[in-house]
């Protein structure tokens, strides 16, 4: 499939007239061909209007047909073959094997949502049968199911050009919920985005979806994204990126005549707590695994371990020495874009000059213009507690190690932290009593609490939570990875005393698709009265 620099609006692919924009080669910073036509406000209007027109037809399709659409997108992404990963490699600098893995994750994610749609539990069907004899008041027949919110705007992420981008988790979960999607392509992988958008458009055509179920726009600067969030047809936003960007979109969404939810995943430093017994018994091994996690993918993961907290002493010093030894051997790696590289260098510089912070080690020097040199910094709990800016995310392979005088101080540091996607505890059996004291704090701080592992590597499954309190996300009640991500784009509707033939199939008495329903408080797949 050829990259032509085009927008995809419904089934129409064309070069837009908002001026030329170029994708950039991550390694060299050079412009890549072809030029892409940036969208105009008319293009945004057309994409959103088509999405609104498609909404009722799309959301009322049989579950099986919507599931087939999701499966067809997965297959179309596989069918793109090497052209997809080669272009993504050029645009993002991510290694080909990682991108191949990410493609399979994207495909797996789409299939997970297809199976979720087929299984029917997403309807959340509930039936409270009428009680005409009840006194003093009879109870009417009450039935609940969930429907899609409406067209969703998705902002592709820079750090997952496939799994969190055009056909990523936000798009897959919104389409599964019955919501048409308009994607704003991330400027750092425009060609990759076009290829995937074409694959989705083909899947939509092959499976007979209404036109407008999917569109992709791209822009020159922030105006197109702003116009998308302002458009009255858009009913929710999915975003992964900077805190500044997520908050700006949230402000726009809240200032609309009809405010809408913005599900933004923004910044997290993912604390790793080293408890004393584990630190004493296997500090050096933990240090090596930590440095591997820190430098994976040039540290460009939202779950990157940017903070380590432990009690000072010889075991802590040994941990730091082993971490330094591992880190100085790590080669510099190309970052996703010159902009992200610049932000990383400034972030490390800023951190290193804060009061009470010392740089412990740097990785091997860069040989390319946009390569990140890994960095390890150290501070003490007192300095950390006195300077809120030490909590700011430095996106890339940099981490700050905090030495605490004792367990109480360590706990104080954790209590002071703002919201996180993850919190990790390294522990051995003798640490269980301390871990039990920390757990209530960690539950309040993070969407995922993990033991004896590292936070990078997010499983796409039913139990996964990739979310957390602000600023890790704008809404701690949800997740952007895993089956529950569909909940963001659904809302409940109650049907009171509606005749059976007028009810949606999920709520009809004979339960034609045999889905799970809560009938008078019991979870059953039977027919109802
Ligand atoms: P970004 O600058 O927030 O951009 C993400 C997307 O949002 C882009 O499509 C961007 O469009 C758009 N956007 C940003 N601000 C906007 C605004 N005010 N109005 C409308 N649209 C807006 O994020 P990024 O380019 O991916 O990376 C920059 C930084 O984000 C990184 O250095 C890192 O700190 C952070 N980041 C965090 C995570 C995480 O998961 N925690 C992941 C990726 C990045 P344009 O670029 O076209 O303006």
Residue 495 lies in a domain: no
Cβ contacts of residue 32 below 8 Å, gap of 6+? 22, 23, 24, 25, 90, 91, 191
Write down the residue that tokens 């499983």 correspond to. 459
Number of domains in the chain: 2
Q: Which pLDDT tens digit goes with each residue over 441-462?
A: 999 999 999 999 999 989 999 9
Q: Which pLDDT tens digit goes with each residue over 320-329?
A: 999 999 999 9
Q: Which pLDDT tens digit goes with each residue over 35-73?
A: 999 999 999 999 999 999 999 999 999 999 999 999 999
Q: Which domain CATH number covers 278? A: 3.40.309.10
Same domain, yes or no: 145 and 168: yes
Q: Which pLDDT tens digit goes with each residue over 242-253?
A: 999 999 999 999
Residue 272: which pLDDT band, with cuts at 50, 70 and 90? very high
**Residue 219 Cα: closest atom of ligand 1:** 47
Residue 470 lies in a domain: no
Average pLDDT on 176-187 reads 98
pLDDT for res 529: 60
pLDDT at 492 over 70: yes
Residue 484 lies in a domain: yes
- Distance (angstroms) between ligand 1 centre and the Cα of 243 equals 8
Q: How far apart are CA 409 and CA 414, in angstroms?
A: 9
Same domain, yes or no: 235 and 278: no
Query: What residue numbers bound the domain in which 331 lies?
Result: 271-451
Same domain, yes or no: 313 and 228: no
Same domain, yes or no: 255 and 346: no
Residue 189 lies in a domain: yes
Residue 198 lies in a domain: yes
Same domain, yes or no: 342 and 244: no
Same domain, yes or no: 259 and 279: no
Contact 267, 419 (CB under 8 A): no
Same domain, yes or no: 52 and 148: yes
Same domain, yes or no: 211 and 338: no
pLDDT at 528 over 80: no
pLDDT for res 350: 97
Cα 377 to Cα 217, 266, 331, 348, distances in angstroms: 41, 23, 18, 9
Q: Which pLDDT tens digit goes with each residue over 98-110?
A: 999 999 999 999 9
pLDDT for res 465: 97
Nearest-CA residue for ligand 1 atom 14 is 245
Residue 153 lies in a domain: yes
Q: Which of 36, 169, 192, 242 maximizes ligand 1 atoms within 8 Å of its Cβ, making it the mutation to test the pocket?
A: 242
Q: Which of 44, 241, 372 maximizes ligand 1 atoms within 8 Å of its Cβ, making it the mutation to test the pocket?
A: 241
pLDDT at 196 over 90: yes
Q: How far apart are CA 350 and CA 393, in angstroms?
A: 11
Cβ contacts of residue 358 below 8 Å, gap of 6+? 352, 377, 378, 379
Residue 468 lies in a domain: no
Q: How far apart are CA 330 and CA 363, in angstroms?
A: 5
Same domain, yes or no: 181 and 294: no
Residue 406 lies in a domain: yes
Same domain, yes or no: 75 and 187: yes
- Distance (angstroms) between ligand 1 centre and the Cα of 424 equals 26
Q: Tell me the whole-structure pTM to 2 decimals.
A: 0.96
Q: How far apart are CA 221 and CA 187, in angstroms?
A: 9
Q: Which domain CATH number covers 48? A: 3.40.605.10
Same domain, yes or no: 220 and 172: yes
pLDDT for res 26: 96
pLDDT for res 121: 92
Same domain, yes or no: 215 and 153: yes
């Amino acid at each position: 499939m050829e990259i032509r620099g085009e927008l995809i609006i419904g089934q129409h692919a064309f070069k837009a007239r908002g001026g030329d924009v170029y994708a950039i080669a991550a390694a060299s910073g050079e412009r890549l061909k072809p030029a892409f036509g940036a969208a105009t406000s008319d293009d945004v209007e057309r994409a959103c209007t088509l999405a609104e027109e498609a909404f009722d037809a799309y959301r009322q399709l049989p579950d099986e047909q919507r599931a087939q659409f999701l499966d067809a997108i997965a297959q179309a992404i596989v069918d793109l073959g090497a052209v997809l990963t080669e272009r993504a490699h050029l645009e993002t600098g991510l290694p080909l094997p990682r991108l191949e893995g990410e493609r399979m994750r994207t495909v797996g994610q789409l299939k997970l949502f297809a199976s979720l749609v087929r299984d029917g539990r997403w309807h959340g069907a509930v039936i409270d049968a009428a009680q005409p004899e009840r006194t003093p008041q009879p109870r009417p027949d009450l039935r609940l199911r969930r429907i899609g919110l409406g067209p969703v705007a998705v902002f592709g992420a820079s750090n997952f050009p496939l799994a969190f981008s055009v056909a990523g988790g936000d798009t897959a979960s919104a389409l599964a919920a019955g919501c048409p999607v308009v994607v704003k392509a991330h400027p750092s992988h425009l060609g990759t985005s076009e290829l995937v958008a074409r694959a989705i458009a083909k899947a939509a055509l092959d499976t007979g979806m209404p036109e407008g179920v999917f569109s992709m726009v791209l822009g020159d600067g922030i105006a197109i994204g702003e116009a998308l969030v302002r458009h009255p047809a858009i009913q929710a936003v999915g975003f992964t990126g900077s805190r500044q960007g997520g908050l700006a979109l949230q402000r726009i969404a809240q200032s609309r005549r009809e405010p809408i939810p913005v599900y933004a995943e923004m910044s997290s430093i993912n604390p790793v707590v080293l408890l004393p017994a584990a630190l004493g018994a296997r500090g050096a091994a933990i240090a090596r695994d930590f440095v591997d996690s820190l430098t994976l993918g040039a540290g460009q993961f939202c779950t990157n371990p940017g903070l380590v907290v432990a009690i000072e002493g010889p075991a802590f010093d040994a941990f730091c020495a082993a971490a330094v030894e591992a880190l100085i051997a790590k080669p510099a790696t190309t970052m996703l874009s010159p902009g992200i590289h610049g932000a990383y260098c400034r972030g490390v510089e800023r951190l290193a000059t804060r009061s009470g912070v010392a740089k412990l080690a740097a990785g091997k020097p860069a040989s390319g213009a946009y390569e990140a040199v890994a960095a390890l910094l150290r501070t003490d709990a007192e300095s950390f507690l006195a300077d809120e800016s030490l909590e700011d995310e430095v996106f890339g392979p940099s981490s700050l190690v905090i030495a605490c005088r004792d367990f109480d101080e360590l706990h104080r540091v954790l209590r002071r932290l703002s919201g996180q996607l993850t919190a990790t505890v390294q522990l051995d059996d003798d640490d269980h009593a301390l871990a039990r004291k920390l757990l209530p704090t960690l539950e309040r701080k993070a969407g995922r609490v993990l033991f004896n592992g590292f936070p990078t590597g997010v499983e796409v499954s039913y139990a996964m939570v990739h979310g957390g309190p602000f600023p890790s996300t704008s809404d701690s009640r949800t997740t952007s990875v895993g089956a529950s991500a569909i909940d963001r784009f659904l809302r409940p509707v109650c049907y009171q005393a509606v005749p059976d033939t007028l009810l949606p199939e999920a709520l009809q008495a004979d339960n034609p698709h045999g889905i799970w329903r809560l009938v008078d408080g019991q979870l059953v797949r039977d027919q109802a009265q």
